[in-house]
Structure 1
């Protein structure tokens, strides 16, 4: 053995066993608190400064888009709850709206109002959740306690309507499954009356807190060039000066009939994003108060009248033989939309959420593709993180408000 080593010694002497720099590769994840899912960030560090960041996704992949191509349209709708599971209603609605555009359905006015109520209530719940867990990530644990308490009251309203708190399935293709329960609007008003006080408590704890501001201000600055490069949307786009909201630019349902403002900022940092989320809660509250007044002046229809694609009301199914036969066919075999393709964007709490559907006239989509905001905001991290301290990574990932259910599709 000694003879072999002596023979190979000159070769060993030429090998550099130490790197000629002090950079370190760090696996940040895939289990860490600020991603709300399984994100692995491969960080190259120079001391405590991030030099390079590589997001590694796929740990939560379930093949949702391929599942959709093997389910009839109504059967797939509950699966959309599992995308952005913090905001299930927006997923239900975006898919239902895409199918309705493909079918050319006209939705009753009352159903449109109920949908908007659920969407804006869920937006408030989603934003409160974001503020709560973002505060916890940065170190403000009290914020999570205050925020989650108020979020529970909003979830109570969702549960009163559809019986579920997390995965709602509260929308149907063609309308909504139920009218609002008795006194639901009164309970919603109570929630909206209490909301400013609770939001004020959170703001009082955060906005002038020097630790909070030091952790967020000038951290994770999104420029207009980055926003264009990565096709950002939602608050991630509006924080750098773009006043863009699909509810205003391409109105759907009755958003062109209600008054609300689009908050935006120019700083582009994590603190600006926090301020925008807080202001959007107030704007959603403003929309809901208008919808309560509009709801009282509508006729009771909540589903589109189109027997070819939509089941008849329960009273007809129970009393008319032909309606019962059509119902059996739609449930067992599914509807057959016309041949064509459609893409419909909506404004979810995190940004642009849209479904692309290609139909060849079969009960199943030939192709279905989901455009989710979190996917693009995760890609942004490779340009946003370099130059920041390792301690700022949690802040930046948290302020991007990404959910991995809608990334790993």
Structure 2
């Protein structure tokens, strides 16, 4: 059969079904990313489109993959805490919390009460940091510039709190099996004179930094509700924001359960599931807070839930600050298998010095067994499944990332929406690919 005959016959077979011809002409495939800024250059969506309407969405992951879990299996337990910060680099200490809780579970140890309060406080500081990044970047995605600048004003202050306890503004590596790296500092770093900060302006910037970190956070918790009011003034009743989010990306309670959603994606659909209430850990059972839930399950509801969560996190931080001011105490277990000796001990005792080197080079052996520890991270349930064979390295590490389950639902949620709605949906998923594509 000649090529001409083949083409002619193919044309006749298509012509026999005009609907197929129209579908063939209308539908086209679009590469959405991987350069899209909402997913930091590592999400590729292949969209099948009928004009401007999404017919099918196929998310592709694998552009970032760093093998975090396998790296953690090749190093002593205490040397992998820093990897957890880099999974979701907007929820750093929450990721650390799940990992150290899994180790503590296998070793049968528990952090001192003061350390538990510090962890609770910094988990909530991390939640506020995450939601500030989300509200700023989500606004930018949909064309709102100002809210990004407002949100980063408070984000910078909380980053200073991270730096005060760990020396790093993002990747803190502050939590340890058995407690935290060190107690809270007695003074806050201050701004130095510069072309941008001098005279009365410098004094105003340093007003809240005259005391300890707890004094600084105490002042922050009093001021923050007014700052959240400013974000809401910019967005909550903004008609353009509502046109882009109300009724967009509706996730029904049934869909949320079926796709294994957690966090704001689940609570935005009206399901009040929160590990801090349902399976309390650290000191969440001792503090008072509410679980905000949505009603419609759309992008706007998820925005409202995150804003309400910032207010609730602020309440928790204020309660932790009050308790920590009134209750000094140790922040690390007195278990020399996991706790390093003090600098003073190392200077005066050769045995302590050897123990220090052994702990940080070889680590410690964890009893054989398996465990799963989860925390209510800002994006949802972040879990660590840990298997030990009795050695100083994990036999198996598997991380349960909330973003991966959420991204899996992309096709089901965006079908029938417009192309611009996909941007809103990616934003409301609050994806960070360090954890999605581990």
Match of 2:120 in 1: 116
Superposed, 1:32-43 pairs within 5 Å as 32-43=36-47
- The alpha-carbon distance between structure 1 residues 143 and 16, as it changes in their structure 2 partners (threshold 3 A), is farther
Separation in 1, partners of 2:43, 2:385: 26
Number of residue pairs matched?
404
Residue in 1 that maps onto 2:204: none
Cα distance, 1:297 vs. partner?
3.0
2:50 equivalent among 27, 46, 51: 46
CA contact (8 A) 2:214 2:325 kept: no
Given the alignment, which residue of 79, 87, 94 partners 2:98? 94
Task: Give 2:196's aligned residue.
Answer: none
Which runs of structure 2 are paired with 1:2-401 in the superposition (5 Å)?
8-16=3-11, 20=21, 21=23, 22-182=26-186, 183-401=212-430
Cα distance between partner residues in 2 of 1:96 and 1:392:
39
Which secondary structure state, in structure 2, belongs to the residue aligned with residue 91 of structure 1? helix
Following superposition, the deviation at residue 16 of structure 1 comes to 4.2
Q: How large is the RMSD of aligned CA atoms in angstroms?
A: 1.6
Deviation at 1:8, TM superposition (A): 4.2
Q: Measure the CA separation in 1 of the matches of 2:46 and 2:272.
A: 33
Higher mean C-alpha displacement, 226-235 vs 187-196 = 187-196
Query: Normalising by structure 1, what TM-score?
Result: 0.95
Cα distance in 2 for residues equivalent to 1:134 and 1:299:
40
Residues 208 and 330 from structure 1, CA distance in 2 versus in 1: closer, same or farther, beyond 3 angstroms? same
The runs of 5 or more residues in structure 2 that have no matched partner are 15-19, 187-211
Work out the CA distance in 1 between the residues paired with 2:7 and 2:132. Answer: 60
Output one character per residue of 1:156-183: Cα deviation in whole Å (capped at 9) or x when no partner: 2211221211211121221111211111
Q: Secondary structure at the match of 2:306?
A: helix
TM-score (norm 2): 0.89
Q: 3-state SS of the aligned residue for 1:296?
A: helix
**Deviation of the 1:332 alpha carbon:** 2.2
Give distance in 2, aligned partners of 1:249 and 1:297: 28
Deviates more, 1:28-37 or 1:95-104: 28-37
In 2: Cα distance, 1:50 partner to 1:56 partner: 16
- The alpha-carbon distance between structure 1 residues 132 and 9, as it changes in their structure 2 partners (threshold 3 A), is same
Q: Per-residue deviation at 1:188?
A: 0.8
Q: Please state how far the C-alpha of 1:302 moved relative to its aligned partner.
A: 1.2
- Secondary structure of the residue aligned to 1:168 is coil
